[in-house]
Amino acid sequence: MKRNVALSDHYKAFFENEMDGIFIADKEGKIIEVNRSGCKLLGFSKKEIIGKSGSKLARTHVNNKEASQEFQRKGFWFGEVEVERADGSVIDTELWARRDKASGNTYIILRNITERKRTQRELQKLTLKFEEQARTLQAILSSTTNHIYVVNRKGEYEYVNKAVSDAIGKPINEIIGMTGKNLGFPNEFNETIGGLRQKIFETGKSYRAETWFPTQEGERFFEFVLNPIKDKKGTIVSVVKTATDITDRKLLEKKKDEFLGIASHELKTPLTSIKGYTQILERKFKKAEDEESLHHIIRVESQLNRLTTLVSDLLDVSRIDTGKMVLRREEFPIVELIDDIVHDFEYMSYSHEFILQIIDNAYVGADKYRIGQVLVNLIANAIKYSPQADKIIITVDTDKENVIVGVKDFGIGIDQRAQKKIFERFYQMNFENGEKFSGLGLGLFISSEIIERHGGEMWVESKKGKGSTFYFSLPIIYKRKEMNRIN
Amino acid sequence: MKKILVVDDDRDILEVIQIILEDQGYDVHITPDGNIVERKIKEFSPDLILLDIWLAGIDGQDIAARLKKQNETKEIPIVMISAVNKSDQIAQNAGVEDFLSKPFDMDDLISIVAKYIH
């Protein structure tokens, strides 16, 4: 076949190795030259291509009329074209065509962009999905009554939801880019919440705070939770704040506190006079050496003390719940307190002998009344749950940092399962024989809370039927040399 | 004989305290009316005042704070006696010497009184 176009060796090498398909057509539109990529692209051999009309060879899915009109007019066309290959499959291509004025030949470059198109379509699908997710998220964020803010390092709001806009009575776009100060939020709010925001950028931790905040409906009390937003590398880029209106809960808590205050007063007042009269009678019977009456009145007093403890326990639980249990710390040697309390028990209890084993002693910085309450609770429990036994051993020892006190009984013991739950509030042991022990199930809960508030721990070691040892630890403030001689 | 004024709106508690403290050899005057505390102090000039916090119609904390401000009464030790939660804080705010929580043991009452009357 005669060639109209002669190619130098260089051009030929370049022509054949080009990735894109290159076609040269004559005036009539018949292909007179094609490179390897061109053949591969269409799926025909060179023989099959040469001499054929380009439009007949590969059906294009482009608006041919317009494209060819444009080409006729300008002698140039560029665009995307779907091309049907020899095997019937369709590929996406980019077509570039230019007519050479001198020869009247047309140079065509055809590039396979199927892969690029596929990626583009996938990207489009993904974008749509993202948009949909963003819309859903937006709907969620708008529908919650919680206030949601995203704030940057400078304290400027990058995002707020509808609840925020409703609460402060400003459209969202007037809030974005502003700071709490700009928006005229109260100073106290800016300091508390702004302070926590700065802390997050330093520590990366989450924080919680409660504060009043002025809204369109007046001052409301909010619980704020602040969390860092990190980028892919883990750098904190902003902070998300969510605020929940807890005004109603707060008011209810206040009412409960007031009620408990009154209830406490009203319950304790009659207890006071009953206790007083009882103790006066006790003294009288003692003087008169009326042993029988004395025995009765001591029982009354013992029951009265139980009642007093129950009332106090209920109030303590409420104090623990509202975080209002205030510790009045003082420094004292732990053994001193234990001595006092064991002494009181020796006076009251007829059934058990108390053995004090002091291995070491130390000063603790603790609320003497509260730690005394824990000891009374543990020793009273030891007596209560070891009705058949005759002794209780109290041990005091230290490790590097803590004083460790143990109260050991030889009673019914606690099985493994119950040991896990025994420090929960309202927990009461169930016994196989249906035996019940009295109480509200609050003592150990309160005791463990008291110890934890002091920075110590409480735990139990026990075997069913063999008895239990309850331990608690308290941080040591200091030790003195002569202490070891207390023993 | 050392004199103690007891102010509490519960008459039974007043009686109990009176019996216990008289038995210890004190001269005890009682009143359930917080409004006449100052008059009672003038008549009786007590060495110690035991004062309830929640009195009918008047706040014991206010009475205590007032007594601690006036020259004639500020030297008299006051022990607040109350079944109110946080009575220790209230006592501290009122500037009084001590407090005793209700219900109390007879021995605790006796020893706290002895602490302020020598």
Tell which A residues from 245 to 284 touch B, by Cβ distance under 8 Å: 260-261, 264-265, 267-269, 271-277, 279-280, 283
Report residue A394's pLDDT band, with 50, 70 and 90 as the boundaries: very high
* A369-391 burial: b if 16+ Cβ within 10 Å, else e: ebbbbbbbbbbbbbbebbeebee
Mean pLDDT across A186-206: 91
Q: Could you tell me the CA-to-CA distances from B49 to B44, B68, B93 in Å, in that order?
A: 11, 12, 17
Q: Is a pLDDT exceeding 90 seen at residue A351?
A: no
Contact A84, A90 (CB under 8 A): yes
Residue B66 domain flag? yes
Residue B117 domain flag? no
Residue B107 domain flag? no
Q: Is a pLDDT exceeding 80 seen at residue A208?
A: yes
Task: Give residue A462's pLDDT.
Answer: 94
Mean pLDDT across A224-241: 95
Q: Measured between CA atoms, how close is B71 to chain A, in angstroms?
A: 32
HSE at residue A228, side-chain half, CA atoms within 13 A, is 17
Q: Is a pLDDT exceeding 90 seen at residue A81?
A: no
What residues in B contact A275, CB-CB < 8 Å? Answer: 103-105
What residues in A contact B20, CB-CB < 8 Å? Answer: 276, 279-280
Q: How many domains does chain B have?
A: 1
Q: Do the Cβ atoms of B16 and A271 come within 8 Å?
A: no
Residue B103 domain flag? no
Instruction: Tokens for A96, please give them.
Output: 């570039």
Residue B70 domain flag? yes
Picking from B102, B106, B109, B110 by the largest number of A CB atoms within 10 A of its own CB, the best residue to mutate is: B102
Residue B118 domain flag? no
Task: Give residue A348's pLDDT.
Answer: 73
Q: Which of A260, A272, A274 sits opposite B104 (nearest CB)?
A: A272
Q: Do the Cβ atoms of A272 and B103 come within 8 Å?
A: yes
Q: Measured between CA atoms, how close is B95 to chain A, in angstroms?
A: 18
Q: List pLDDT tens digits, range B37-90.
A: 999 999 999 999 999 988 777 888 889 999 999 998 999 999 999 887 677 778
Residue B69 domain flag? yes
What residues in B contact A284, CB-CB < 8 Å? Answer: none
Report residue A9's pLDDT band, with 50, 70 and 90 as the boundaries: confident
Q: Is a pLDDT exceeding 60 seen at residue A418?
A: yes
Q: Residue B11 belongs to what domain range?
A: 3-97
One-letter amino acid for residue A55 of the chain: S
Task: Give residue A2's pLDDT.
Answer: 46
Residue B64 domain flag? yes
First to last CA, chain B: 11
CATH of the domain at B38: 3.40.50.2300
